[in-house]
Chain A
């Protein structure tokens, strides 16, 4: 039995496993965060994964994007990821899109999702996903990483989003420094958060942000206040 060890958990059981099977999760970005997120959601038995990435595998991805190997360089990430993940678990459905998310096409990626997970590296897509998930009342699990540091938070209609806390003013470095272990830690936390949301568990990260510090070996929780004048929430 593939899932017998997690079904033993009182938070999951047979009923919880069926919830995971019935769930659709959209994962935007199949890179450093996407690799652990997709691996653990696939392993856990999320019934349907919608995966989106417009990029191809390059050698500099391989320090952290463990879904791929040398032989995959130059191939589409979504194609390689789907192959690897279906090999891990052929019982789930994976729908892949080799596209860039835009205001014109975002609906087809997220409309059917129970949870959306943001694993991208650019502000534009983060803000778009935030606004569109809020508009559709779909829970969004956000995260970011750089060097030995990372953070994660969940976003919902009643709790703070990235724009509430001023993230939309941020200048994000493209091709910033990153070690695979940081993306691994934060990606695992994103997958765990998604599983908790699907199961309807308490203790999720709506209204707070976890900050991971891989140098000092600590995780801090920061309470976040929703901004009543937030444009994303009003939209």
Chain B
């Protein structure tokens, strides 16, 4: 399983935390497609707290955190 934690507007119409079968995804971008989140809407994508690219591999036990832009002051 992988744990996917969504933040801010990505939660709207979705769950806050999802547990997905790791075997269904090869790359970080595959999870976005599964969740219908357009790549261009993603500001920060962390795998186990580390900055990641959409092409990075996903493995069993990974914790993903995905954020849209929130940069106002």
B72 in contact with A165 (CB, 8 Å): no
Please name all residues of chain A whose beta carbon is closer than 8 Å to the beta carbon of B18 when the two chains form the complex. none
B51 in contact with A165 (CB, 8 Å): yes
A167 in contact with B72 (CB, 8 Å): no
Most buried by A among B5, B49, B65: B49
**Which applies to chain B's interface (DSSP): helix, strand, loop or mixed?**
mixed
Query: Would you give the shortest CB distance from A220 to chain B, in whole angstroms?
Result: 7
A68 at the interface (CB under 8 A from B): no
Contact with B along A163-202 (1 / 0, CB 8 A): 0111101111100101000000000000000000000000
A232 at the interface (CB under 8 A from B): no
A216 in contact with B11 (CB, 8 Å): yes
Please name all residues of chain B whose beta carbon is closer than 8 Å to the beta carbon of A143 when the two chains form the complex. 73
B51 in contact with A216 (CB, 8 Å): no
Q: Give the size of the chain A interface in residues (CB under 8 angstroms).
A: 43
Contact with B along A211-235 (1 / 0, CB 8 A): 1010110101011110100000000
B73 in contact with A224 (CB, 8 Å): no
A150 at the interface (CB under 8 A from B): yes
Query: Would you give the shortest CB distance from A55 to chain B, in whole angstroms?
Result: 11
A34 at the interface (CB under 8 A from B): yes
Query: Would you give the shortest CB distance from B45 to chain A, in whole angstroms?
Result: 7
Query: Would you give the shortest CB distance from A176 to chain B, in whole angstroms?
Result: 5
B46 and chain A: residue at smallest CB distance? A165
Our pick among B51, B69, B73 for the contact of A33 (Cβ within 8 Å) is B73
Contacts A147-B9, A165-B46; is A123 near B71 (CB within 8 Å)?
A: yes
A121 in contact with B72 (CB, 8 Å): yes
B48 and chain A: residue at smallest CB distance? A225
B44 in contact with A176 (CB, 8 Å): no
Our pick among B7, B49, B73 for the contact of A149 (Cβ within 8 Å) is B7
A139 at the interface (CB under 8 A from B): no
A29 at the interface (CB under 8 A from B): yes
Please report which residues of chain B, range 56-73, place their CB below 8 angstroms from some CB of chain A when the two chains form the complex. 65, 67, 69-73
**Chain B interface (Cβ < 8 Å from any Cβ of A):** 5, 7-9, 11-12, 16, 43-46, 48-51, 65, 67, 69-73
A-B contact pairs, 24 of them (CB 8 A): A31-B73, A32-B73, A33-B73, A34-B73, A118-B73, A119-B73, A126-B71, A143-B73, A144-B73, A145-B72, A146-B70, A149-B7, A150-B70, A151-B67, A151-B70, A164-B51, A165-B46, A166-B51, A172-B69, A172-B71, A173-B71, A211-B8, A213-B7, A213-B8
**Chain A interface (Cβ < 8 Å from any Cβ of B):** 29, 31-34, 118-123, 126, 143-147, 149-151, 160, 164-167, 169-173, 176, 178, 211, 213, 215-216, 218, 220, 222-225, 227
Nearest 10 pairs of A and B residues by beta carbon: A172-B71, A121-B73, A149-B8, A166-B51, A170-B43, A225-B49, A225-B50, A146-B70, A223-B49, A144-B71
